[in-house]
Chain A
Amino acid sequence: MSGSRAHRLARLAVAPAVLALAAGFGGCRSDEPEPPVPTVGPTPLRRLSNVEYLNALADLFPSVHEPLPPLPDDGAVAGFENAVEAQRPSDVRIARYEAIASIHADAVTRDPASVRALVGCDGWATADAARECARTFLATTGRRLYRRPLEPAEATRLLARFDEWRVAIDFEAAVRLTLGVMLQAPQFLYRAEPAPAGVAPGSVVPVPSYAMATRLAFFLWESTPDDALLDAAARGELASEAGVAAHAARLLADPRARRVFTSFHRQWLGLDRILGDEHAARAAELDPAWTRATQASAAEETRRFVDGVIGSGGTLGDLLTSRRAWVDAETARLYGVPAPPPGTWAEVSLPPDQRAGLFTRAAFLASFSHRGGTSPPVRGNGIQLRLLCQLPISPPPGVDLSQPKAAPGEGPRTTRELFEERTRPAMCQGCHAGLNGFGYAFESYDASGRFRTVESGLPVDPRGAIRGTDVDGAVSGPVELSVALARSETVRRCAANQWVRYALARAPDEVEGPMVAGLAERFSKSGGDVRDLVLAIATSPSFRSMRVLGGEAAR
């Protein structure tokens, strides 16, 4: 471990030698002061995550609406589905790629008009004309799929196949089959960033233009670059910080950016945990009206909430405190507000004494509950693990994890009383003081996420405590808890760290610590402005640089 660290530090030490080259890439004038060498961790080869792949297909081929076979799950790490460390291919995945490529290639070549639109020419009667058309097709569609112009050797290989298939069947079939190849090729499915020629291994260099376009698009759109971004790369506009900032701003203003905010928060905070089978129902004596439709609506409600709050310029703090809600009949029932007509969604304002932000909504409250009742430690675990980036240790072997119940004949007791008793031993308190402190504050909500002041005929005591943060202290209930967490540096640091993790598709490396700290500081100063943080990451020297790896393994 220490050896590899020393090795990496040694590599960093040689980095200044390539500064001149870096300056050349960046288009800096020689009279400008030399910028410090950006800290860059490893940049392992990324495969498109399932969401990125499907978004890219949808953006490239908006006319295709055929049902697609399901892809195997991405091996999410810490919730993030693009985690590069869990992207090993499997036979099932390869077969699905083949099927999905065939479906798309077939769908967009079904009639002559579609073929003409795809290839960008309309006469292919002679062999020469067909060859010319094929070149145009590779230059346009090929560039979109590979996110850069094809190398001459790549074009030659594909043209040879194209000719073979055109002779064997016809021009349209050759387009379809060649498209099938490109949709399964590593240039489409993976994000290779080959080192510029002649650069020594270990050097830190600017990310080449087209690769930079790809980095920006997948970070800010969760999808492939559009033609405008590829054109900008071609013009060299992504070589400077100002150029990247301008294009990042354009991307962020596009509707496609909104799916990144909902997708990131879904993965970071586990907002789709509610869709698990265990949350398909609530115990009949608690909430017989909870159905699979409720489950789906709860997930959709938080998606609309994140989209609505961030989409209207909201901050992380707003996500934790806003009373705005977009509800349908299912979620209106849970929040005790008037229901819009069935099948429609409407924006409402939730009662200020009852709700404040994401963690007071059904998707969190119900998915961090059991179907038969609430569990303060489970909800506390959700806060610690997701919002504070603190991994609680698993319960030691042999401890009782069952839901505590009042003993027969003992009369009703609140969930809080039962958990206080269960976790009273000193060996439990090491973890449970923190877990329960958060969890008790959420006792104002039942296992469906409905507000309550009484449980089993007894008054609910929602007083809790925040521990392990910069805003530690007692809170009177869930609204005060959320408001306090919205002010927390610990929360903002966690968010910044997770955004970097999402941007890099891996946990930040040790050498990136100062970079993450700088971003977290900027995020705090901005008052938790999520768009500003995303822009800061996209324009940071680290995001715009890459470490050239040699033939040896990258750790």
Chain B
Amino acid sequence: MKLARRQLLQAVGLGAAAVLLRAPGARAGAPTFPTRVVFYVQPHGHIPKAWKLAIPGGPSDRVASRDLAGLAPEELPPTLRPFHRLRGKILPIEGLCHTIALADIAQVMRTGGDLNNHQIGVADVLTGARALQRSGTYCTGGARSIDQELAARGMAPGRFGSRVYGYNYVPNSIVSPFSYLGPGQPSPMVSSPATALQDLLGLAAPQPTPQNREEKIRALRPSVLDAVAVEYESLAPGLDADARKKLDEHRALVRDLEMSLRASGAHCDVKIDSSGHEVRQFMRVVRLALACDLTRVVTFSAPVPECPELGYPAANTMHGYAHQSIEGATSCGTAFDPVAERAMIDLDAWHAGHVAYLLDLLDAVPEGDGTLLDHTAVVWLTELATPTHEHRDTGALVAGGANGFFATGRYVRYPQDQPNPIGGQPRTGPAHNRLLVTLLRAMGHADDTFGLDGAAGADGTPLSFRGPLAELLR
């Protein structure tokens, strides 16, 4: 896909290709504004009772939904309350299952390996694939993640395939942050909003007509990159196949940068407020990146705040609270602590506040008859379903219409009617992989699967991960 695009560019000449690709709506019937996607991914899951919205009269054996339009703020569950103003543009989803993680655990219980739930969750949630078990160290992502797949399909001159922002996941800094270029290859993540902004400005600034010697030299950066790429092409043939592949990938990225620098800069307001909480700073960078079409895919790996930020003692950690936060979650064998429950609900609300802030920012950017948010899917995910290491009955949220693709303004609940890959465990809802398939469809791709296409229940019943979640679509 990527190669074909590059060949096309080379065939038709850079300038013409740049115009072709940058012209919005060039294809008949395509959306006027490009569809963008933001993943906001956090550790520790949600407290179900603070997430779940009752659906009066709703069936439990099939999909149920509830219109959010008529609800007052206090009628929304605490975690969803920060979205009240934008309730027409959100689509909270209850009851999906990280089936792939359960399948991973079932397998590792048989064969040995890294069984840490957090690590498996981090490895699986955006890849939809088995975690990569490695000798002598912890497991990691076993395949390219959905954001990087979309990035690879959507790159163009003058635009980054994706941006990955955020923080390494504490408490175990060995865990890498959700996004993977390929098996065992975490995506590089930018952890400073200032650096993230500098990266964008490098593409956003229009290339000036060189006025002096220094500017003439700067204007030759693409030529330098062209010469660099030629060196990669020249060195590779004398090497073995693996080495050639490595150099080819490097060369392709050098060519991408060269083409980006040759493309005229996006003329776009790049002023930004660089004050306040770092997460908010990042959210403003995300707005800029999407509004200026400098990327169409962003992944934000959310931090876990220190306890004092949420008003809890510094001696504790959110991770410590997590295991004691759900009444009756006996699998942990630990005493339920109402303070821990409140802390985790406050943590959920803290994340919800940041996501809602991003939605407000995107909704304030007019695009045609609507807003940037209307043309974007902001996807809020967690690596576990609950702070007590469950992987089933998750809470997920899609906000923004993705150009009229998602039927927002509703709360959707999936029934728990599928066999669990782990013996003796409760039945589950549909696989979360199908949400990833739905996002591929939202971005204009026809795929029927992403990651693995299925697994098996503990009793051997096949579980299919195929097809989008039709109930979410308009």
Contacts and interface: CB of A to CB of B under 8 A. Distances in A.
B246 A192 contact: no
Contacts of B116: 394-395
Given A94-B257, A157-B230, A45 B249 contact: no
A44 interface: yes
Contacts of B10: none
B173 A276 contact: yes
Given A75-B186, A77-B137, A177-B224, A552 B241 contact: yes
Interface stretch (B48-56, B231-239, B406-414): B231-239
B294 to A, nearest CB: 12
Given A181-B227, A551-B240, A92 B190 contact: yes
B117 interface: yes
Given A70-B195, A88-B249, A192-B243, A186 B235 contact: yes
**Residue picked from B114, B316, B322, most chain A C-beta under 10 Å:** B316
A176 interface: yes
Interface in B238-252: 238-243, 245-247, 249-250
A102 interface: yes
A102 B257 CA distance: 14
B243 A89 contact: no
A173 B213 contact: yes
Interface stretch (A6-14, A21-29, A317-325, A398-406): A398-406
Interface in A355-373: 370-373
A517 to B, nearest CB: 17
A210 B320 CA distance: 54
B48 to A, nearest CB: 16
B134 A77 contact: yes
Interface in A370-402: 370-373, 389, 391, 393-402
Interface stretch (B12-20, B215-223, B395-403): B215-223
Contacts of A283: 313-315
A554 B243 CA distance: 9
A124 interface: no
A260 to B, nearest CB: 22
A86 interface: yes
B199 A72 contact: no
Given A192-B243, A402-B324, A153 B234 contact: yes
B242 A75 contact: no
Interface in B183-213: 184-190, 192, 195, 198-199, 202, 213
A87 interface: yes
Given A176-B217, A393-B114, A192 B314 contact: no
A64 interface: no
A122 interface: no
B185 A86 contact: yes
A192 B246 CA distance: 11
Contact of B389 (A87, A398, A507): A398
A90 B253 contact: yes
B115 interface: yes
Contacts of B60: none
B357 interface: no
A45 B315 contact: no
A398 B137 contact: no
B250 to A, nearest CB: 4
Contacts of B317: 278, 370-372
B136 A507 contact: yes
B129 interface: no
B249 A89 contact: yes
A276 B170 contact: yes
Contacts of B135: 507
B315 A72 contact: no
Contact of B242 (A180, A373, A553): A553
B170 A397 contact: no
Given A70-B195, A284-B315, A394-B115, A154 B234 contact: yes
B242 A92 contact: no
Nearest to A550: B240
A73 interface: yes
A273 B173 contact: yes
Interface in A506-555: 507, 549-554
A373 B320 CA distance: 12
Nearest to B160: A91
A185 B231 contact: yes
Contacts of A192: 235, 238-239, 243
Contact of B216 (A88, A168, A273, A551): A168
A168 B220 contact: yes
B435 interface: no
Nearest to A109: B217
A419 interface: no
Nearest to B322: A402
Contacts of B199: 92, 95
Contacts of B228: 181, 184-185
Given A91-B161, A553-B240, 15 more contacts: A72-B190, A73-B189, A77-B184, A86-B185, A91-B256, A157-B230, A165-B223, A181-B227, A184-B254, A187-B231, A192-B238, A276-B173, A371-B317, A393-B113, A551-B240
Interface of B: 105, 112-117, 119, 134-138, 160-161, 167-168, 170-171, 173, 176, 181-182, 184-190, 192, 195, 198-199, 202, 213, 216-217, 220-221, 223-225, 227-228, 230-232, 234-236, 238-243, 245-247, 249-250, 253-254, 256-257, 306, 313-317, 319-324, 331-334, 388-389
26 contacts: A44-B242, A45-B243, A45-B247, A72-B189, A88-B181, A88-B182, A88-B249, A90-B253, A91-B160, A92-B190, A94-B250, A94-B253, A165-B223, A177-B224, A184-B228, A187-B235, A190-B246, A194-B238, A194-B239, A278-B317, A281-B314, A394-B114, A398-B331, A402-B320, A507-B135, A552-B241
Q: Which 5 A-B pairs have the closest CB atoms?
A: A72-B188, A283-B315, A549-B240, A394-B116, A45-B243
